[in-house]
Structure 1
Amino acid sequence: MKLKFLVIALFIFAVGFAQEKATLTGILTDKDMNGAPLPFASVTVKGTTISTTTDETGNYTLSVPAGEQTIVFSFLGYESREAVLTFTTGETQTLNQELGSTSVQLNDVVIEQQVSREKESALLQQQKNAVEMKQNIGAQELSRKGIGDVATAVAKTSGISKQEGSNNVYVRGLGDRYNSTSMNGLPIPSNDPEKKNIFLDIFTTDIVDVISIDKVYSTRLFGDFAGGNVDIISKEYRGQGMLEVSVGSKVNTNAINKNGEFLLQDGPGKLGFKNYDYASNALTAYTFKNSLTPQKENPYAGSLGFKAGDSYQIGEEGRLSLFATANFSNNYDYREGLNQTVSAQDATINSYDQERFQYATNTTGMFNAAYRVNSNNKISYNFLLVNSSNQFRDTFNGTIRDIAEQDNGLIQRGTYVKNTLMINQLLGNHKIDSLTTIDWGASYNKVISDMPDRTQNTLRNTNGTWNIAQINTTDNHRYYQTLDEDELAAKLSITRQFGSEINGQARGNLSVGYNGRFKKRDFEAIQFNFRLTQTFLAQAVDPNNLDALFNSTNYGNGAFTIEAYAGMTPQTYSGDQDIHAGFANIDYKFTEKLTASVGLRYERINQTVSWRTQFDAAGRSDTFDKNEFLPNLIFKYEVNDKQNLRFAASKTYTLPQFKERSPFIYEDINEIKFGNFDLNPSTDYNVDFKWEFFPERDELFSAAVFGKLIQDPIAEVNLASSTNDISWVNISDEGTVYGVEIEARKNILNFESEFTNKLSFGFNASYMKTKQDLDAEKVRQDTNGRLNINPTNSTSGFTGASDFLLNTDVSYTKDWSADGGITATVMYSHYSDRLYAIGIQQQGNLVDKGMGALDFVVKSRLGRHFGVDLVTRNLLNPTFERVQENGGGDVPVVTFKRGAYIGLGVTYKL
């Protein structure tokens, strides 16, 4: 009864309060950006504490006292605007307002200082106001640090690192399987059959407006999440018309030292688009197109890029914005060093001096069209094409077990990988009324990944003479694989404001919606093995002229035969994965200081993998269905106008990937990998606590504590076998991750002048611990005895995780005119020792020793049209070292230096 009376009293009070109020709604737009919405701008009733901020689409709703009121519109770095309006009780008025950036007049010359949400200060303001916990990297920061790709940008943020020699990004100690990637809020597929996420380094920063990193789960994200989600917000043009051309050149100090001796395999083109296939009679004739003789190259890299954009007024309210960019870059790398495997007693199994020549290309093209119908409706289309290629010519000189055990062996492998990604997205945002908005999107993505004609040959030197060596037919082969994947995705959310008002703003937002993701992958591979006669095994050969032996004439004379596992029938696997998700989320402001976000997401997951491989020639399939209910909770407490406290908790899951579940064999030089169809998903529980302090508009101090419990963690492990087999298993019942992150951005000196003249400092660091049990009995039970592991230790950390990560930078910016200036930035990053592979059969763990990188970047503007950039990377050129932690001490197994990188670029703007 008391509760009923209280509810009635509150209702009467709310009605009485509302009768003295009116409502003002509208949208704030950016004058400098041709009417683009202005999110997180302030709308205030002058002389009162009644205020609100615009949402991400620039919309606002404010409860205003009846009578004549002065409304103030403001945004950081923009001129404030005021409007005097008269309100009557209960009425609703609409006022759309346009804000322009601050202008400073000097001797009758007006200098317009353009400010956009790509600015670091604006993104910090967005981070401060948002309920969700995320980090944003904008175009301004990317430019200042001379960052050319998304992977490098992400690795500069706290708690995130990139593994040496791979494209893996680790978030809070969690690798590829625990992370996800999206573009404009829609998922994008991987371009590697072994990975869940696409290689972030193929995305150039030319296409990026903002990189948003979620390390805390919210219901708008798919539930396959534990480490983080990287969302690439594509660039949308907002200006009056532009055309920009840029050219650049880059060298690697290791590579240019091999000028005249830089060797690559024959076949792949210099632009990275070339592809080729094997002939239909490859088993009955020697019809391979590419020579086995290496080709000499001049290792000087370059880049060429174009950007263009314009916008057009359509009718009284409409605006069409168009933006396009195209960019091509290539890169030469060289490294040389030790690569070996050793026993638990430090005895050498295989030991090589590995030499790698590498050539990579990246071609990116993007087109974006955004049509703002009016202040309430916007539709946009994004198309992105990314084509990347990578050539490796590896030579391994030294000891080969059972073949050349007197340090007299040689393995030559030539690898060419070409990946093409096409993304198509259609997005919409609509304001139905002052309280309701609808966001939707749909995408179709396609990935084609090819590894055509990977060659491998094994040789042995006897008394100064090289001969082809052969223990197994796989010692000399040519290999082809291709992956074709199609993916459809959709999102729809409806958001409605509700509840009584606080400071003129509705207390709550209710969002409900749907997400869908439907993926289909087809993969096939075939390997042609060469079996030589004893006569030709004894024939002397030149390692750089193997065409003298492997040719159609010698094949016709019976010098060798060509074999494949199932004739001309490739090994295959296919994967189908459907995810349907519904969600609801409530953001509610309990007081002026305390806001909560509570959400629940339901996902229905179906994953089917089918295969026909040398493990299972008849072929079969395996399916699992999973229903997940995923709650999440976020609290934000505004200590004052400069400090926030945040808390978050959530439940998520981790899915195994297609290749991890299909028994397809992939042979590398020192290892063999195959999938495990008994692999099960993991369940993840996440908790975060964070403090933020914003002393000035572009300054930040923050500290965060996080923890994760992962049930049935998935690990890549060496099996108990004689052939160094590797597979994926649920390694234990649970694993844990916990740690702390700190971040600081501070202006050291900020000289007062008409133009920018300041020295700034950035720093972030994280310290974490990861642990998982190594349960051999669980692996045996889960796989019905098919797979066995024999770990040296009973526990381990997570592979790829460093206990300590550090990034720091110091920047000096000096502008001497509106169109002239210079920014110089010194950056240093460091990671501590991290586990590469878990030790087995009394062998110690493989550990990558900690190392650091020093970069120096200078960006200059020489008037309205010209800019010159100098980018130098890895100036300290430390030695990368992987060791095996045996009882007698650390034994080096991989060592090399990457070399330093020096690049010079020139930009011309019309």
Structure 2
Amino acid sequence: MKNFSISKVFFSLTVMLLMVSSAWAQNGKIVGKITDKAFNEPIVGLPVLVKGTSKVTPSNIDGRYELNLAPGTYTLEFKYISFKTKTVSEVVVRAGKVTELNVVMDDAATELGEVVVTSTYKKETVNALYSLQKSNIRVSDGISAEIIKRSPDKNTSEVLKRVSGASIQDNKFVIVRGLADRYNTSLMNNASLPSTESDKRAFNFDIIPSNLIDNIVVNKTASPDLPGDFSGGAVQITTRDFPAEPVFVFTIGSGVNTQSTFKDYRSANTGKLDFLGFLDQSRALPSAYESTRNQYPSLPIAESQQISYAFPNTYGAAKTGTTLPNANMQLSIGNNKTYESGSRFGYIASFSYRTQRDILMRERSDYNLQKIEVIRNDDKLFNYSNNLGGLLNFAYSKGNNKFALKNFYNNTFKNSYVDRVGKISDESNSNNLNNIGSFNDVYQNSLFNSVLEGQHALPKANINIDWNAGFSNTFKDQPDQKIVEAIKPVDSTDPYYVTLSNYNSPAVQNAGRVYSKLNENVFNSNLNLSIPFKLFKQSQKLKFGGSTVNRFRDFRIDALGYASASYAPVKIDLANGVNFDNIFSTQSMQSNNLMLSVISTNSLDYEGKAQTHSGYVMLDTKFSEALRIVWGARLEAFNMDLTPAGKAYLKQTYKQTDILPSANLIYSLNTKSNLRASASQTVNRPEFREIAAYQYFDFETDFNIVGEKNLKIAKVTNADLRYEFYPAAGEIISFSAFYKKFKNPIEQINNGSRVFTFKNAESANDYGVEVELRKKLNFFGDAAFWNNTTFYTNASYIKSDVVLDGSSRQRPLQGQSPYLINTGLQYNNGKLGVNAMFNRVGQRMLYVGTSGGADIYEAPRNVIDFQISHKLLKDNAELRFTAGDLLAQKTKYYYNFGGSTGYQSNEDRVINSIQPGRTFSLSFSYNLPYNK
């Protein structure tokens, strides 16, 4: 019955789409957006006339217009007070097709009479694109939906690594201009997004499917109307709005990995809802523990033992067949309708699902200061993951008003199992032990974002208003992480054994279970008012407004270690039928007198609250046709509290009010080039986890992570200079230089005792240059091949120096790379598309070493991706083949013992090496041809 109901819903939506689109099935449409040249902002209420007819329609609050016309060639007239009249000829309308014509209006000279500017469809289309490229007030780089569609990238993190000056760490965290992920801020539909990570300030971009994105803009300089807590980049993600024509697109695809597909696969315990990406109760804490959780550490030993038996024995793993090819699908529907009253309603809905299994080989080592290997582990990782995403957006506009409700949901699920075989040595390398271990980690990570927004034009008051109110929730449930390790002397014929201490000092890395849950709600509101006016015979604009961001985080973690229920440690041999699968069964626990003890240093619940109240004022001033300066200041009042559960006396509080000035100057050297300069003051604030003083053991790195309660808020002074040249529509050549001065930068450090923590450096300088080129190859000739082929590249060179504890060290900031390179070649003739891409990121410092600990770097690796697509079935379908990571080079982390940050095999030591596989995928997309 449930499936039948879902089928009826999809059938009803299809019928609705057909009905609303039938009104113009025999005609065609001209649609577009009208903006002013000065600010590239929409013009409301401008009449669009079809010459030779009585047809006329006004632009709406978005500056958009729509004309239903019979097939033919038309001339349109755009006429409005304060602007030069513009006529555009050679606009062709085809039956059942949408012709998009965006128009840029020039200011009228006040002392002259009416001035008419004539243009053609082709010229005006190019003009509009130039205007969009040149008019952004900030130094920024972006990627549109069309470019995303033509790339092999399946999620937003992969898309972001194509942006000039950006790279991706751990396949999900964005690094802008070489600065660590903590120096960025993320917004979706102009609403701030929460941190998705429990252990650092970062947003996991791989949870957002790329096919749900309209565009991504990475702002590299600040302006008063942007949040002030970034210095790397402010990443603005916009999801798709209602479309210009009916949409019903279905996509299905599958892929293989050379290292994983059709290989034997092992899984730890699974739940009934894993295939959907949701956790059931099978991995939850037992009710017997939950009911006594607060008293558990002080219960009598016998009672604690009885409760320990209630934990299910789910250690170990079993072969579960072979790894099948990954699979993905997406369904998108949408439409809009314009009513006789002039109002317009539109919607778009999208659903996507992806599932895959991967097998990775990892070599994990550690070294002492004499560069002697003391730990060597060979891991085999089995990863199952799926991604479930949905988008539902509605928009309504009438006259000078528009309202939109945008909703986004995504759920990511991952079940990882690790088989480990290794060797442990003491500092003298004389007492050597072999070790085996297993690790199982399951998590569900979801993001929900909902934004209600409005735009209003008040012509009589000469005021434009826009506002939004948003809610975001991020939820990460990581239940029942299971760790167990066994050892034995090298060359011994004795069995492996597990050593467990007494109940007063359990160690999670020997044998333990960790349960954690993060839930964070974010409430946003923004209000902006802009007042255009004339000064020096030029268009000017005063903009001011305010915003509030309220974050509420609940975090809970239970770290439990298996231990002896007596004062004496216990040694359990893996012999006589005892193995990882049954070592913690009730029978084994009873016979070995075991129990689960709470590891207090690794267990800490806390509540976090953070409020940021902001106000700003900004002047967008034009002194001439060539010179424009956007300047002003933003005031941010920040208040953050972190309270450990049941320990109000340990409450930590941050309060600070900052005035953050900024200025962006744009000088148009000519119609095709700009010179930009900017300066700003921004801040970087600690995240909840960074000040929460509890330890968390990371099995993958073999390090503990602990917070630092005395972190200071960092301040950053930024300066930028950029030259940009647009040879033709869609092409760019740019050169940028930047400088950043940090006071109290926050870094994650390795303290030399196998502990990662956080610390303020005294100061740091960061500076670099960026180059970007996107150019068609038509300078080789006029042949269609050269006109359809585009070469693109962007590269960055970055350098920094840090002052820590009063002494200058010649090392970069944590997370910073000295260079980044993205390049590619793209061919598209409308039918056939080919895209080849190359990416390389220079050595990147992952963790700072102190107290004798060496810095840890990530080595560079070359990545080559390739994609070819072809349209079929009268261009209603597309077949796409993608080859990813063709070189399949290892990801390597190393201790930097040598003087140079680059890897030196005779000095440095690799501590983590992961071998990926090449991926090959095929997808088929079909667009239901309503009007064709």
> Contact between 1:169 and 1:176, CA under 8 Å: does it hold in 2?
yes
Cα 1:588–1:730 change in 2 (3 A) is: same
Q: Does 1:585 align with 2:618?
A: yes
Match of 1:807 in 2: 822
- CA distance in structure 2 between the partners assigned to 1:210 and 1:390 by the alignment: 27
Q: Specify the code of the residue in structure 2 equivalent to 1:466.
A: Y
| 1:600 aligns with one of 622, 629, 633 | 633
Match of 2:264 in 1: 260
Cα 1:650–1:879 change in 2 (3 A) is: same
- CA distance in structure 1 between the partners assigned to 2:614 and 2:782 by the alignment: 53
Q: Specify the code of the residue in structure 2 equivalent to 1:339.
A: R
| 1:442 aligns with one of 443, 452, 469 | 469
Match of 2:653 in 1: 623
Alignment of 1:398-413 (within 5 A): 398-400=422-424, 406-413=432-439
Match of 1:649 in 2: 679
Q: Does 1:103 align with 2:133?
A: no
| Percent identity over paired residues | 22
**Offset of residue 654 of structure 1:** 0.4
Match of 1:825 in 2: 835
- CA distance in structure 1 between the partners assigned to 2:525 and 2:867 by the alignment: 40
Match of 2:881 in 1: 870
> Contact between 2:313 and 2:585, CA under 8 Å: does it hold in 1?
no
Please give the secondary structure, in 1, of the residue aligned with 2:610. strand
- CA distance in structure 1 between the partners assigned to 2:764 and 2:536 by the alignment: 44
Match of 1:735 in 2: 764
Match of 2:720 in 1: 688
Q: Specify the code of the residue in structure 2 equivalent to 1:55.
A: E
Q: Specify the code of the residue in structure 2 equivalent to 1:799.
A: Q
Cα 1:700–1:554 change in 2 (3 A) is: same
Cα 1:647–1:875 change in 2 (3 A) is: same
Cα 1:240–1:337 change in 2 (3 A) is: closer
- CA distance in structure 2 between the partners assigned to 1:98 and 1:355 by the alignment: 67
> Contact between 2:736 and 2:771, CA under 8 Å: does it hold in 1?
yes
> Contact between 2:820 and 2:840, CA under 8 Å: does it hold in 1?
yes
- CA distance in structure 2 between the partners assigned to 1:120 and 1:420 by the alignment: 41
> Contact between 2:777 and 2:786, CA under 8 Å: does it hold in 1?
no
Please give the secondary structure, in 1, of the residue aligned with 2:500. coil
| 1:356 aligns with one of 381, 397, 402 | 381
Cα 1:57–1:577 change in 2 (3 A) is: farther
Alignment of 1:60-139 (within 5 A): 81-83=75-77, 102-103=91-92, 125-139=131-145
- CA distance in structure 2 between the partners assigned to 1:235 and 1:33 by the alignment: 23
- CA distance in structure 1 between the partners assigned to 2:92 and 2:493 by the alignment: 81
Match of 1:749 in 2: 778
Cα 1:166–1:676 change in 2 (3 A) is: farther
Cα 1:852–1:730 change in 2 (3 A) is: same
**Offset of residue 235 of structure 1:** 0.1
Aligned CA-pair RMSD: 3.5
**Offset of residue 188 of structure 1:** 1.2
Alignment of 1:138-157 (within 5 A): 138-157=144-163
**Offset of residue 211 of structure 1:** 0.6
Over residues 116-140 of structure 1, what are the superposed CA-to-partner deviations in whole Å (9 max), with x where a residue is unaligned? 89x9996664121233322221011
| 1:848 aligns with one of 843, 858, 862 | 858
| 2:279 aligns with one of 267, 274, 279 | 274
Match of 1:318 in 2: 343
Match of 2:175 in 1: 170
Please give the secondary structure, in 2, of the residue aligned with 1:659. helix
Q: Does 1:161 align with 2:176?
A: no
| 1:893 aligns with one of 911, 916, 919 | 911
Alignment of 1:295-334 (within 5 A): 295=318, 296-299=320-323, 300-334=325-359
> Contact between 1:612 and 1:618, CA under 8 Å: does it hold in 2?
yes
Alignment of 1:451-600 (within 5 A): 451-461=478-488, 462-463=492-493, 465-470=495-500, 472-474=506-508, 475-500=510-535, 502=537, 506-532=538-564, 537-541=571-575, 546-557=580-591, 559-565=593-599, 571-600=604-633
Please give the secondary structure, in 2, of the residue aligned with 1:256. coil
Cα 1:759–1:705 change in 2 (3 A) is: same
**Offset of residue 479 of structure 1:** 0.9
Cα 1:749–1:897 change in 2 (3 A) is: farther
> Contact between 1:121 and 1:698, CA under 8 Å: does it hold in 2?
no
TM-score (norm 2): 0.82
- CA distance in structure 2 between the partners assigned to 1:420 and 1:550 by the alignment: 32
- CA distance in structure 1 between the partners assigned to 2:384 and 2:448 by the alignment: 23
- CA distance in structure 2 between the partners assigned to 1:196 and 1:100 by the alignment: 53
Please give the secondary structure, in 2, of the residue aligned with 1:147. coil
> Contact between 2:29 and 2:98, CA under 8 Å: does it hold in 1?
no
**Offset of residue 262 of structure 1:** 4.1
- CA distance in structure 1 between the partners assigned to 2:386 and 2:682 by the alignment: 37
> Contact between 1:125 and 1:697, CA under 8 Å: does it hold in 2?
no
**Offset of residue 293 of structure 1:** 3.1
Q: Specify the code of the residue in structure 1 equivalent to 2:264.
A: G
Q: Does 1:718 align with 2:766?
A: no
- CA distance in structure 1 between the partners assigned to 2:167 and 2:558 by the alignment: 35
Please give the secondary structure, in 2, of the residue aligned with 1:126. helix
* Structure 1 range deviating more: 886-895 or 845-854: 886-895
> Contact between 1:413 and 1:454, CA under 8 Å: does it hold in 2?
yes
- CA distance in structure 2 between the partners assigned to 1:125 and 1:331 by the alignment: 43
Cα 1:550–1:96 change in 2 (3 A) is: farther
- CA distance in structure 2 between the partners assigned to 1:543 and 1:40 by the alignment: 76
Match of 1:378 in 2: 402
Count of residues in correspondence between the two structures: 820
Cα 1:207–1:431 change in 2 (3 A) is: same
- CA distance in structure 1 between the partners assigned to 2:775 and 2:174 by the alignment: 27
Cα 1:359–1:541 change in 2 (3 A) is: farther
Cα 1:715–1:110 change in 2 (3 A) is: closer
Match of 1:397 in 2: 421
Please give the secondary structure, in 2, of the residue aligned with 1:469. strand
Match of 1:38 in 2: 33
Q: Specify the code of the residue in structure 1 equivalent to 2:894.
A: V
Alignment of 1:178-257 (within 5 A): 178-256=183-261
- CA distance in structure 1 between the partners assigned to 2:351 and 2:500 by the alignment: 47
Gaps of 5+ in 1: 1-31, 43-51, 63-71, 778-792, 816-820
Cα 1:123–1:524 change in 2 (3 A) is: farther
- CA distance in structure 1 between the partners assigned to 2:507 and 2:493 by the alignment: 24
Q: Specify the code of the residue in structure 1 equivalent to 2:152.
A: G
- CA distance in structure 1 between the partners assigned to 2:334 and 2:800 by the alignment: 47
Cα 1:536–1:98 change in 2 (3 A) is: farther
> Contact between 1:264 and 1:357, CA under 8 Å: does it hold in 2?
no
**Offset of residue 583 of structure 1:** 0.4
Cα 1:464–1:173 change in 2 (3 A) is: same
Cα 1:775–1:826 change in 2 (3 A) is: same
* Structure 1 range deviating more: 854-863 or 401-410: 401-410
> Contact between 2:31 and 2:244, CA under 8 Å: does it hold in 1?
no
> Contact between 2:778 and 2:786, CA under 8 Å: does it hold in 1?
no
Match of 2:705 in 1: 673
> Contact between 2:223 and 2:662, CA under 8 Å: does it hold in 1?
yes
> Contact between 2:164 and 2:795, CA under 8 Å: does it hold in 1?
yes
